[in-house]
Structure 1
Amino acid sequence: MSRGNTLLSCRGVQAGYGHSQVLFGIDLDIAAGEVVGLLGRNGMGKSTTVKTVLGDLKPLNGEVHFDGRRIDGQASDAIARLGVAVVPEGRQCFPNLTVREHLQAFYRKPRPGASASTHWNVDSLFRLFPRLAERQKNFGNQLSGGEQQMLAIARALSTQPRLLILDEATEGLAPLIREEIWRCLALLRREGQTTLVIDKYVDRLIRLADHHIIVEKGRVAWQGTSSALDADRTLWSRYLSL
């Protein structure tokens, strides 16, 4: 797809933990309706970039803008209310809430002007993930890892996000469950959901994403289209250990 209006923009973002700097000037843009893959080996700064966007980590320098509004330094709950939702690494499902209660607790009404086809309520989320409908009375700690990941995605969608971020989208999942997650993400793409995905399965990401950003030692080492990434496999071995 052609790149449209910018929804998320990072410029010169530097960030770290204590005396350890991790990001050294990250620049990236995500257009509305676009699916972007954020790639790189472990420890290169992918999750730190996400934490900075979400407001969990205040940048040392640089700016983050969402829909034209500067958000770096804002509280994470304020950023979430603007329409940024995350499926966190580790899923973080609540052990004392049922599947249905997870989806009800995080539900937000659609924003004015939002498409009716992308109104994510309990019923539409159960249609997206029939397995969750079967387990709707089970508590979070009674689900398999794959079911927890489905629930984490459904929970994020229940907030009607303008930007959905998935940190390690299919990490540790069985092959059949991974395929179910990829199916879901492909459907969301067709619905126009703007999405940022971190995942190590590059061969699947290039079928899904419009654009990719490779991070190396806290900097953007390469960015381009899926076709460009597919065509240059030296990038895979140089930056992704594949």
Structure 2
Amino acid sequence: MRLFLILCWLSLPLLAWAYHVGPGQDQLAIDDANAMIRLAAVSETDGDYAAATDHYADALAKLPEGDANDRFAIQLAMAKTQMNSGKLPEARVALEGLLDAMEAAEDCDPSLIVETRNTLASSQYYMTWLMRLEGLPAEEWEPEIEASRQHYRMLAETTRRQEGEQDAEQFAAYQQDLESAIRLARMDLSELQALKIPTQCKGCCSGQCDKPGKKQSKKPGKKKGAGSNLGPLPDGSGS
């Protein structure tokens, strides 16, 4: 018995070393990733979305392969900060790919899919706003706002089938976003130009505004009528 205890005691350093070079490395990587996420949260609170994006990218790079939901959540958070740091087109592309990956995954958290779809719809909404301000023709921006409308419609219809006070409030929010998307598509360009540019569109370029023949001269902005207001707008972080 004494010999057995001695052998167990002597084996502790070996076990500790095995953990350090095995699972311990993954835990260290997870700790590093969590540290980056905390830094990103601080940057977001300070309004430094560019720094937050970089911290989320670092967290994603440090995170070991494992739970796909963790990676999805970081990618979603990073796309949101991109939307607020003048990188709306990049965020929109990233969100579309992220939603496809989530839907193809076997065990993706459904709430993550809902939040990503909502954020994608928001990015498409603001991309439409941006493309219209750049004077792009309807055949280029209409597919964007139609995709946004379809996403909001799916979110609203799915939520409507659920029960509960919170679900009813969420349905109303999605329905409001859907109506905003419809108004944006129907609004005259001069009315749109008279509105304040959303934060998500400032400093952005759709990447299509340098095509020859796409520019339109800005029409004199007329006063907004009672029915021209787009109403509550999605903020890119979910309704």
Scaled by the length of structure 1, what TM-score is found?
A: 0.32
Scaled by the length of structure 2, what TM-score is found?
A: 0.32
- Larger RCO of the pair (alpha carbons < 8 Å, separation 6+): 1
Q: Greater strand percent: which structure?
A: 1
User: Considering only CA atoms, is the larger Rg found in Structure 1 or Structure 2?
Assistant: 2
